[in-house]
Amino acid sequence: MNFLILDGPRGPQLPDNLAYRAYRGTSRAHPTYCNEAPEHHEINQLFFWFIEEGGELGVVRDIRKAQRFAELWNERLEAPDRFEVVEATDGDCAPTSHGTFLGFDLSSGYNNSLLAWGLRYSPGIATLPEPIQELCGLLSRHYAPRLNAAGLFDTLEDATLCLGSMTALQDLSPNLFEGGNLRDFQPVCLYSIG
């Protein structure tokens, strides 16, 4: 059981574009300490639990505590900035919860995604060699329309093929999508837990 407590954009450096606002994958913000409440308040006690159990990746195992922590934060937040508890499974492994299927993300460590940008590329692509530009455009035209309303893939096959294409393209143009090696990324299936 791998549960994540996720919210909106991870940081101010991300663009406020429609693709990112629709995105409900792994590369979203985790809950923080609540400065408006005293340290002994339940919300901050759950924050300490979250940090201890979840560590840097924010993966927790106790669904009840995760749901309560999200509930306490959501009492303080306006929509659409509310937290949701999500179960993450590798590939097509069955979930332990009875959550609602969101889709397949391309993630590294359940916290970094290649899909957060909606497979839309920045104007900086124009500075790359023409063959790389053409391949990026082809990848975007083929796979971006396959993303669902949550900004994720509906099938493991599409997720796997897209990751393979991105990995091959990054082998031709290092650091194109992400610094380092894309072989650390894998399809991750996400389920929203009520």
Residue-wise pLDDT for 120-164, tens only, equals 877 778 888 999 999 999 999 999 999 999 999 999 999 999 999
Task: Give residue 166's domain range.
Answer: 3-193
Per-residue pLDDT at 49: 97
The model's pTM is 0.90
For residue 93, give both structure tokens: 């492994």
pLDDT tens for each residue of 34-61: 999 999 999 999 999 999 999 888 999 9
**In whole angstroms, what is the distance from residue 69 CA to residue 98 CA?**
19
Overall number of domains in the chain: 1
**In whole angstroms, what is the distance from residue 175 CA to residue 193 CA?**
34
Distance of CA 97 to the CA centre of its chain: 19
Beta strand segments in 37-114, E: 84-90, 100-108, 112-113
Helices vs. strands in the chain: H and E counts, helices first = 5, 5
